[in-house]
Amino acid sequence: MVNQGKFLALHAPEDGGDAAGGAGGGEESKQGVSKDDVVPKTQFIAAIKSANEKYDALKTELDALRAEAKAKPAIEQPKRYTRTELTAMVDNRQITQEQADAQLDFQMREDFRTEASRVATETVTAAQRKQFIDSEIARYKAVAPEILDDTHETRNKIKEEYTYLVNVMGDSNSVDTQLKAIRSVLGPVEKLERARSGRPSFESHRETGGEGGGETGGRKKEAGKLTYDDLTPREKAYYDKGLAAGRYKDKKAINEELAYANPNVRRKYGAMN
């Protein structure tokens, strides 16, 4: 609670007086405070009282909720027995041997169910994580194909970051760390896609071949997403090499990459060579 008497003596005038404690008649005091700038003592006290009442009401409500939560009984877990405890109970004729065997069987089934649920959850989570990581790396390869070029500066930076994460930071030697290294060097893939989408647009993923005309043999994709079947023989040879090397699981993975592909960038860094 605020010490109202002392506080009001410093900041609030008596009824009918001005901020300086005298009858200013509405004129400004020497301190430059107008009578219109001050709050009457009775109004000020009423405001404090109202605020205190609201605070007390909220505190009472909060205390009641806490007491209610504390009063709720905790969920009691079934008691587990060791084989020694059950044997002693059988010897003391508290339970029969059949009951002891049934209790052990029940506990074993519960343990199996809990473990199976945990393994299933971890398996699903791991599969989802792997799918996400593979998808993210595919997007990086599509929008920044230079990361596939062993001679390119960007790939070398990613290698250096990967080595640092594994050898210094203790990260695992896995695709998870690969993605972390790529993201560390190139930034978020969404931002990279937006930044590079401003480059010259393309009609297809076909090789143009030097300064002059293009290579024939591929089908021009006028609308929709580019697929493996839309590529020229030379482009297909590049992706076939990636399939053989294990960089792509199947043609579906290639099509997923092509959905984000910018041929001008890929051509620059040799993706179509």
Residuewise pLDDT in 10s, the chain (273 residues): 444 444 343 344 444 444 444 444 444 444 555 555 566 778 778 878 888 888 888 888 888 888 887 777 666 777 889 999 999 999 999 999 999 999 999 999 888 888 888 888 888 788 888 888 999 999 999 999 999 998 999 999 999 999 999 998 999 899 999 999 999 999 999 988 888 875 443 333 333 343 333 443 444 444 456 787 877 777 787 788 878 777 778 888 888 777 766 555 455 444 544
Domain count, the chain: 1
For residue 205, the tally of other CB atoms under 10 A from its CB is 23
In a domain, 251, yes or no: yes
Q: How far apart are CA 217 and CA 229, in angstroms?
A: 11
In a domain, 46, yes or no: no
- The b/e string for 113-138 (b: 16+ C-beta within 10 A; e otherwise) is eeeeeeeeeeeeeeeeeeeebeebbb
In a domain, 261, yes or no: yes
Residue 199 structural domain: 131-210+219-268
Cβ 179 vs Cβ 136: under 8 Å: yes
Provide the 3-class DSSP secondary structure of residue 227: coil
In a domain, 79, yes or no: no
In a domain, 257, yes or no: yes
In a domain, 44, yes or no: no
What φ, ψ does residue 234 adopt, rounded to 5°?
Answer: -70, -40
In a domain, 84, yes or no: no
Q: How far apart are CA 121 and CA 117, in angstroms?
A: 6
- The closest alpha carbon to 217, from 142, 272, 145, belongs to 272
Q: How far apart are CA 152 and CA 156, in angstroms?
A: 6
Q: How far apart are CA 175 and CA 163, in angstroms?
A: 13
Q: How far apart are CA 271 and CA 248, in angstroms?
A: 14
In a domain, 273, yes or no: no
